[in-house]
A and B are shown apart, each in its own frame.
Chain A
């Protein structure tokens, strides 16, 4: 039986101490599979981003476990977890976090640079990825010269340039108009998602629900249900 891409078991994360302790995520268990595009949806403060951080190796849970392709994530050392983020995860942040002082191609090449790949080789691979997102002609521009949609595509190119198996999107359409948002998510599903890849997307943009395989709903730090994407 193939192992799940992500298997979270009884994850808990709280902030504060004593009476001020607040649960951001409480007793959350779920699995995401290879070839699946799983949405995590819910109102603000429902724990979506905290959960996303715990399954992508960014935030250590207070209790519970996360297994990636069968391997326990949080029992590893800090350096191993950093390596896991670098080699296995591709991040698309809500605010993109592109570097304004670098060119678009250099921005995309950053994960390869962190992997200590040759600078020229990294730029070449980055340019290839920019072709995939249809931005090859903007490779030498700084990201500040690009539109919001173009910046989002640069962020996607950066997330896939090092061929990660898991892609994590945090509110990818929050800063985009409806049409651009739909185009980008449609593109991600058609071009980026493969049977060997898993995409987790946190969103509350119902306009893009149709592209998901499965939707996990959260409220007050708990999972309240799962639905098939197209049926929502």
Chain B
């Protein structure tokens, strides 16, 4: 078997023109598939940025608001007390999440996301790069996240002040978070009380109740009790999935990405399928000669499947490498570039390239199995 596969390899790669065309087709297809799905994965991750950055085990929310952290429906204070009274809850704290316009020192306005942390515990606080966390309790204290949106606040330093609804705000700390936000706005952290004071809100003010269970085994019971209250409790992972599902199935982002991925697949399939089929047709007399000399049908099938599979694997490697290079280069130049390579993306691209190879190989196998050595003999 090994000898025949070496022969298959030589017949493939020594036909440099065709082999190059096959590789270009596969590489281009994988590149497009990986680019599209990586961009989508990046969007999904950034859409869940607050959930990831706050890191609470359980998020209690109004069931009508699971699409995004910013589109929450405020809950009354008694929900917090009721959740705290559920057996299995270690602690529960309120969280404010909203948007506001801040007036910068040069007189311009900039939209920001504001996160209000529980005043007594500061659960969900970011990691500070500069400043002291206790200063958040100082008058007008805000912590700014140093991410790709940071320059939009004119690269503030500790002590930089701004105006928020006629209130003065002062930067008392500069922080970093695991994931930057999707919506292109800088993020400010402050205390819950200051957030609801500075930002006009509705009758109810609690965006989320963050819950820490005593044990993981308590989670189902807590979720059940929260449901009985008429609210929804989601684990961190479930909430991220809910946000992802919304983007995937209820916005045009998911549909467009899916369409582009399918188009990339079809482009790859048509280029590779056509080129590989042409490759087989041009070598048909050689396959016939091999058959006449004693090669069995299944051995010729192995030859073709090896050639299709080898091309697919090399093209896959090149496509993934090219995508990685481009994403890395783009992130160096454009920090807000939203793209993320995940095992799911890579697996999807691998699956698609295998389908491309299978369909291309199948067309070739059908043709080769039909050839009669007698036709070769007759010339």
Q: Does B155 contact A (CB under 8 A)?
A: no
Q: Does A97 contact B (CB under 8 A)?
A: yes
CB <8 Å contact, B294 and A114: yes
CB <8 Å contact, B289 and A116: no
Assembly CA distance A87 to B295 (angstroms) = 11
Q: Does B230 contact A (CB under 8 A)?
A: no
Number of residues of chain A lying within 8 A (CB) of chain B: 34
Assembly CA distance A89 to B373 (angstroms) = 14
CB <8 Å contact, A99 and B295: no
Assembly CA distance A118 to B378 (angstroms) = 32
B10 and chain A: residue at smallest CB distance: A102
Q: Does B379 contact A (CB under 8 A)?
A: yes
Question: Could you name 25 residue pairs across A and B whose Cβ atoms are closer than 8 Å?
Answer: A50-B374, A53-B373, A53-B377, A78-B296, A78-B297, A82-B295, A83-B294, A85-B292, A86-B293, A86-B294, A87-B294, A93-B377, A95-B285, A97-B285, A101-B11, A101-B15, A102-B10, A106-B10, A111-B293, A111-B294, A114-B290, A114-B294, A114-B299, A116-B4, A122-B3
Interface residues on B, range: 20 to 34
Q: Which of B6, B288, B299, B374 contacts A53 (CB 8 A)?
A: B374
For the residues of B in contact with A, the DSSP-based class is: helix
Q: Does B351 contact A (CB under 8 A)?
A: no
Which residues on B sit within 8 Å (CB–CB) of A119?
3, 6
CB <8 Å contact, B377 and A52: yes
Which residues on B sit within 8 Å (CB–CB) of A170?
377, 379
Assembly CA distance A94 to B376 (angstroms) = 9
Q: Which of A59, A91, A101, A116 has the most CB of B within 10 A?
A: A101
CB <8 Å contact, A97 and B286: yes
9 closest A-B pairs by beta carbon, nearest first, are A86-B294, A101-B14, A97-B289, A85-B294, A59-B374, A113-B3, A58-B373, A82-B296, A94-B379
Q: Does B259 contact A (CB under 8 A)?
A: no
Q: Does A183 contact B (CB under 8 A)?
A: no
> What are the interface flags for B267-282 relative to A under an 8 Å C-beta threshold, 1 for contact and 0 otherwise?
0000000000000000
Chain A nearest CB from B280 CB (Å) reads 14
Chain B nearest CB from A187 CB (Å) reads 22
Which residues on B sit within 8 Å (CB–CB) of A89?
294
Q: Does A49 contact B (CB under 8 A)?
A: yes
Q: Does B7 contact A (CB under 8 A)?
A: yes
Assembly CA distance A106 to B295 (angstroms) = 16
Assembly CA distance A110 to B299 (angstroms) = 13
Q: Does B202 contact A (CB under 8 A)?
A: no
Q: Which of B10, B295, B377 has the most CB of A within 10 A?
A: B377
B373 and chain A: residue at smallest CB distance: A58
Q: Does B1 contact A (CB under 8 A)?
A: yes
Assuming the contacts A101-B15, A117-B3, A118-B3, asked whether A58 and B377 have C-beta atoms less than 8 A apart, the reply is: yes
CB <8 Å contact, B292 and A58: yes
Assembly CA distance A88 to B365 (angstroms) = 27
Assembly CA distance A50 to B375 (angstroms) = 10
Q: Which of A10-35 contact B (CB under 8 A)?
A: none
Q: Does A191 contact B (CB under 8 A)?
A: no
Assembly CA distance A87 to B296 (angstroms) = 13
Which residues on B sit within 8 Å (CB–CB) of A93?
289, 292, 376-377, 379
Which residues on B sit within 8 Å (CB–CB) of A87?
294
For the residues of A in contact with B, the DSSP-based class is: helix
A94 and chain B: residue at smallest CB distance: B379
Assuming the contacts A58-B377, A87-B294, A97-B285, asked whether A113 and B11 have C-beta atoms less than 8 A apart, the reply is: no
Chain B nearest CB from A94 CB (Å) reads 5
Chain B nearest CB from A54 CB (Å) reads 9
Q: Which of B4, B14, B288, B373 contacts A113 (CB 8 A)?
A: B4
Q: Which of A49, A83, A116, A117 contacts B378 (CB 8 A)?
A: A49
B14 and chain A: residue at smallest CB distance: A101
Assembly CA distance A118 to B373 (angstroms) = 26
Q: Does A79 contact B (CB under 8 A)?
A: yes
Q: Which of A40-58 contact B (CB under 8 A)?
A: 49-50, 52-53, 58
Assembly CA distance A82 to B297 (angstroms) = 9
Which residues on B sit within 8 Å (CB–CB) of A116?
1, 3-4
Q: Which of A91, A95, A118 contacts B379 (CB 8 A)?
A: A95
Which residues on B sit within 8 Å (CB–CB) of A101?
10-11, 14-15
Assuming the contacts A117-B3, A122-B3, asked whether A99 and B376 have C-beta atoms less than 8 A apart, the reply is: no
> What are the interface flags for B1-22 relative to A under an 8 Å C-beta threshold, 1 for contact and 0 otherwise?
1011011001100110000000
CB <8 Å contact, A49 and B3: no
Name 4 extra pairs, CB < 8 A, besides A85-B292, A95-B285, A119-B3.
Answer: A59-B372, A102-B10, A111-B293, A113-B7
Chain B nearest CB from A180 CB (Å) reads 19
Assembly CA distance A52 to B292 (angstroms) = 12
Which residues on A sit within 8 Å (CB–CB) of B376?
93, 97
CB <8 Å contact, A99 and B293: no
Which residues on A sit within 8 Å (CB–CB) of B291?
82
> What are the interface flags for A102-116 relative to B under an 8 Å C-beta threshold, 1 for contact and 0 otherwise?
100010001101101
Which residues on B sit within 8 Å (CB–CB) of A59?
372, 374, 377
